[in-house]
Structure 1
Amino acid sequence: MHDVIIFLGPSLSVHKASEILSAEYRPPVRRVDLLEVIRMKPRIIGIIDGVFFEDAAVGHREVLEVMKHGITVVGASSMGALRAAELEPFGMIGIGEIFRMYREGIIESDDEVALMCDPTTNMAFSEALVNIRVTVHYGEKTGFFTSDESQSIISIGKSLWYPDRSWPRILQASSFNQQRKDEILAWVKDHAIDQKQEDARKALSYIKETFYT
C-alpha cells in the first residue's frame, strides 16, 4: 500500500501524474472519502480534484480530522487549492498559482475551478474559469488582448454556467467582430494556459522533493 494517496481527476491524467510521483491515485475527493482513508495511515494525502455541485464536497472538518492524525495534507489546482487557502492557518499545505489566487482573494468562488467532465475518463467538457482568467491576463500582458477585451471575456465567462464555459461559447456571446473572434480562437489554440494542470504537476513534484529526497 502506498503511503501517499492523491485524489486526482481532470486536472492531470493518472498516467502523467505517475511519471512524476509514485502514489495511490484515487478519483476526485468526495465527502467522507478522507475519513475512510485515515485508517490506512498514509503519510501524505494530496487533494487536487474534488466534486463540487453534483455531490457533497469534502468538508473542512474532514481535512482537520486527517491532520489531527498526523497526516500531511497538500492541496493544489482545484478543490485542493480552495481548501488549502481556507485551512492553511491550521496546517494544510497549499501549492501553486491557483492556491495563491484564492489565498490573496483574487478569486473566491469554487465556481472558478469547477468544470464538467466524464466521471469515468475524467475528460473535461468545459473550461475552468481560472484557466480562462490566467490565459487572458497572459494575453493582455503580451499585448494580444486589450484591457477591455480581457474584462469582456472574463465577464462573459463568469456569466455562463460552469458546464457551458468554453472559448467558442464565450466568443459567440461577445461583441467582437468575426475576424477578431477567429484571431482569438487561433491564438488560444497555441497559447492557452492550463493552470490547473501546471499546479497539479507542481504539487506532485513538491511532495516528491520534500518528502522523498
Structure 2
Amino acid sequence: MNDNSPKIVVFTGTSISHSDAGEILEAVYMPPVQRCDVERSVKAGYNIIGIIDGTFFNRTAVAHREIIKAIRNGVIVIGGASMGALRASELDTYGMIGTGKIYEWYRNGVLDADDEVAVATNPDTYEAVSSPMVNIRQTLLHACEKQIIDDSIKEILIQIGKQMHYTYRSYMGIMRKAADEEIISADLAEDLLEFCINNEVDIKRKDALKVLERIKEIAGHEQ
C-alpha cells in the first residue's frame, strides 16, 4: 500500500474471518463494530470504512449518527452481510453504500427484524456458535429445491427457527423440535439435518465477500 492509497478499516470476524478476508482485501481488520468505533476510525484517519459484522443486543450497536457524520466528513462507508446490511438499508439515502442480497432484502422490506442476521459468537474468536436465520431460510429453500422437503414443511421449519431465540438457533434444534412434534419423521429429520450441515447456503459469507470486493473496487478508483 503506497502513501496515496486509501486507508481502509473493515469490521468483521463473524460472517468471514479476518484471515480469510485479508486474502481478498488489504485492510486493517477489526472486531465486529460497536458504538463509537466508526467515530474513532474517522479520527484515526481511515477514509474507507467497511461494516460487515457488529454487536446487537448485549452491547451498544453502532449509532446511525456516527455513520452519517463520517459520510458528511467525506469518509466512504460500505456495508453488507449483517450489521452492515442493516445500517446500509437505513442510511443509503444519506450516502452509505450497501451491497449484497441481505442488504437488498432489508432495503426492500423482505426482512425487517434484526434477529435475522444476529448470532451468538465465541467472545475470543468472534466465530458464530448459532445459525443466522437468513442462512436457515436459504438452506431450507435449497432443501426444498432438491425435493427433500416440500414448501409447506419448509415454511413450518422456518417458523420453528424463527420462534427460537437467536442465540440458540441451530439446524439440530429445529429438526429435533420438528421430529418431537411429529411434523416430520425422525428419519427425515436426520437426513435433513445432514443435508443442512453439509450444504448450508451461507448467504452472510457470500455478502461479506461482496463487501470486500466492493471496497476493493472503490479503493482502486480512489488511488
Q: TM-score, normalised by structure 1?
A: 0.96
Aligned-residue identity in percent: 39
Aligned-partner residue type, residue 170 of structure 2: S
Task: Name the SS of the counterpart of 1:74 in structure 2.
Answer: strand
**Structure-2 separation of matches of 1:75 and 1:65:** 16
Q: How many residues align?
A: 213
Aligned to 2:121: 117
Farther off after superposition, 100-109 or 184-193: 184-193
1:188 aligned partner: 196
Q: What amino acid does structure 2 have at the position aligned with 1:52? A: F
What does residue 143 of structure 1 align with?
147
The answer to whether structure 1 residue 202 and structure 2 residue 210 are counterparts is yes
Residue by residue over 1:162-206, the C-alpha shift from the partner in whole angstroms, topping out at 9 and shown as x without a partner, is 111000001111121101101101211221111111110111011
Residues 11-49 of structure 1, C-alpha deviations (whole Å, 9 max, x = no match): 101010000000000011111111111112212100000
- SS of 2:23's equivalent in the other structure is helix
Quick one: distance in 1 between partners of 2:117 and 2:148? 24
1:41–1:71 contact (8 Å) kept in structure 2:
no
Residue of structure 2 equivalent to 1:130: 134
C-alpha distance in 2 between matches for 1:189 and 1:173: 17
Q: Give distance in 2, aligned partners of 1:209 and 1:94.
A: 14
Aligned partner of 1:212 in structure 2 is 220
User: Helix, strand or coil for the counterpart of 1:87?
Assistant: helix
Give the letter for the 2:10 counterpart.
I
Output the CA distance in 1 between the equivalents of 2:26 and 2:205: 17
Q: Normalising by structure 2, what TM-score?
A: 0.92
**Are the equivalent residues in 1 in contact too, given 2:171–2:197 (CA < 8 A)?**
no
Map of 1:72 onto structure 2: 76
Distance of 2:149 and 2:102 partners within structure 1? 22
The letter for the 1-side match of 2:26 is S
The two structures, once aligned, show a CA RMSD in angstroms of 1.4
For 1:130-157, what per-residue CA distance to the aligned partner results, in whole angstroms no more than 9, with x for missing partners? Answer: 1101112222234332111110111011
Ranges in structure 1 where 5+ consecutive residues have no aligned partner = none
Aligned-pair CA distance for 1:127: 0.3
* Larger radius of gyration between Structure 1 and Structure 2: 2
Shift in Å, 1:91: 0.7
- Give the alignment of 1:13-32 within 5 angstroms: 13-32=17-36
Distance in 1, matches of 2:91 and 2:145, equals 32
Aligned to 1:161: 165
